[in-house]
Structure 1
Amino acid sequence: MQADMAFDLHDRLRAAQTPRARWSVLRAIFAEAGLATFTAGTGRREALDALSVRTTASAGLIADYLGAKADREDRWIHHCASTTAPDHLDVVCGPAEGPAVAGEKLRGVLADHGIRHACLVPVYGGQRPGGFVFYAHDSEQSALLTSPAGLRHLCAVAAIAGAYWRPEDDLLAEEAPAPGRYQMLSPLPARERETLLWLARGLQSAEIAHRMGIEPVTVSKHLQGARLRLGARTREQAVAIAVRDGLLHP
């Protein structure tokens, strides 16, 4: 699955007018690309399941589903472990609360159940109800193991999610992007490219700042500049565009 595949899906996602329908489109995209996915949701509960992409307007959905904060990660792990999964997975979707707090425990439990080589796509709550975004992680930053080639899959997923997975009213009111929208608007400076590269490898702003010897606010400025030059709506989409166009080789 190439990163630029993410930019040919606008019509399909717009046509899916319910959260469950949009998630079905995304799963179909994975299947077409030959990617195996793992979520615990099935049937009518699929759009409400904590292991599926969060597609409702409730900012507290994951917390409500998993219960008290104290046992949140344990319940997420046990739910994963109790679900039949193939020996090899390419993509695992899950709430950020689970992978973020479980760490090595999650890695070990899932590995015991045959999940050893998957790319992790944690789901983070957005700044407003119903908004959320995906972050791509590499093998050192993820709670699950992945290979370098898997980053292209994650970039594509990030581009889809960052651009289109928003409240239904916003999605349906949006006009289709004009041809050439994703062409780079101006050259990408070296510092912006470096910042984008660290983001593609799964580092957070503070970690990027430490590695580059700059302030976190400067990291944000570099990422914003890269996003604008690439004509992307989100940081994650900027990564996908840069990988697609050969500007980044994570």
Structure 2
Amino acid sequence: MPLDLARFENALADIHQRFQKKSDPLDSWVIAQGVAKEIGATAINLGGTNLEGDQPGWGRSSMSDGWLERYEDKKYHLVDPFIAALTAGQSEVLTDCGTLPRSDPAYDLNHDLKSYGYMSLYGTMYGSADNGYRSIVVYCSDKSIAEVQKEIGLPKLAIVHALIAAHTPRPNTSDGGGQFVVRIDPLSARETDVLRWLACGFRNDQIALKAGIAEVTVRKHLLSARRKLRASTREQAVAIAIRDGWITL
């Protein structure tokens, strides 16, 4: 049954009190998962941009390990409409899983979600496209969007999302709890080759000779790869590329 206004107001007060009592930043993530479960979610996703707001920066998910491994293996972040909506500064994004046509770039992602038991996703964004950092909260359900609307109401769900977003800080890199890095720019074939040769111990001039390009072009590819991987050094870029499966030795 849909929540009546009085009950909903009490629920919001309870959620607020839970967050106020937290003693550690990671408690916010635990509380967010509990709140989502109590209102019928099968999982919840949180995420945010970098501080400038022009790139996705981090994500946190309580979806199944099997699905998260599938998502990473297929590099679905490259076609994820929720990530695209976050970086574009949209206010909300929603989908019924298993419904997109083959012509849609997110077809495989959308239909894979259904095969893992997720029937719909509803996300709302917080922050401004004109003012740097933004965050997103996504409610994952084993019911359709129409059923979620009937049982909870998307406007009410958006208010719960706002409370979660307000009380859940950007995680530290040392935090645990379902955290993962989100990257939207794929490495080009040439960037992958340059990183692989660098990992094998070749110097820039040797890489240039092997690739048949100028040494200055090698440096440009390395700088581009570092930007995409958010690496401060070329050595860190190689380590991240190996870790994330962009290159193998």
Normalised-by-shorter TM-score class: 0.3 to 0.5
Question: If the length of structure 1 is used for normalisation, what is the TM-score?
Answer: 0.36
Larger Rg belongs to: 2
Question: If the length of structure 2 is used for normalisation, what is the TM-score?
Answer: 0.36
